[in-house]
Amino acid sequence: MLRLIVLLGSLLVTGVIYAEIIVTEATVRLLPPGVPNTAAYFSIQNSSDTTQILIGASADFATKAEIHNHIMVNDMMRMEQQSEVVIQPGESVQFAPGGLHLMLFGLKQPLLEGQSVAISLQTKDGEFIVIQANVARPSVHKHH
Ligand SMILES: [Cu+2]
């Protein structure tokens, strides 16, 4: 019973459910103090019957947020800003280490483990999706 409540609680604080776009497992990577930039990861699902396009993001606790992807250039892994991320109806897209991520530049305050922070995602339709992300240490289960 307790476990169920905890699970429900963590779902509520780490994501948000809109009618059409469902964001889950939202986390912000906790880095050592003094590191100015970090990244956010989440899973975003389009349960509408129209294509949804993410074009940007912002967060009060960071100076700037950009959608990035990792790409290979001359055998080197590089990050590149993405002007949009298309999510087809019924599809979901993973923002995860080594792939798509939300780059957060210029942290305005030190983040604390377990803290819940708000991030606003912007769609091409002009909609803003505010998600709650959990500040967590980099997961050892995910590989680049
Ligand atoms: Cu990046």
Nearest Cα residue to 60 out of 138, 124, 11, 115: 115
18 CA from centroid of ligand 1 (Å): 26
Q: How far apart are the first and last CA of the chain?
A: 36
Q: How far apart are CA 123 and CA 93, in angstroms?
A: 14
Between these two residues, 10 and 16, which has the higher pLDDT value? 16
Architecture of domain 2-136: Sandwich (2.60)
39 CA from centroid of ligand 1 (Å): 7
Q: What is the pTM (predicted TM-score) of this model?
A: 0.82
71 CA from centroid of ligand 1 (Å): 11
Quickly state the pLDDT bin for 8 (edges 50, 70, 90): very low
Q: Parse the chain into domains and list their residue ranges.
A: 2-136
60 CA from centroid of ligand 1 (Å): 18
pLDDT at residue 10 greater than cutoff 50: no
Per-residue pLDDT tens for 104-143?
999 999 999 999 999 999 999 888 999 999 999 976 655 5
80 CA from centroid of ligand 1 (Å): 7
pLDDT at residue 7 greater than cutoff 60: no
Predicted local confidence at residue 14, as pLDDT? 53
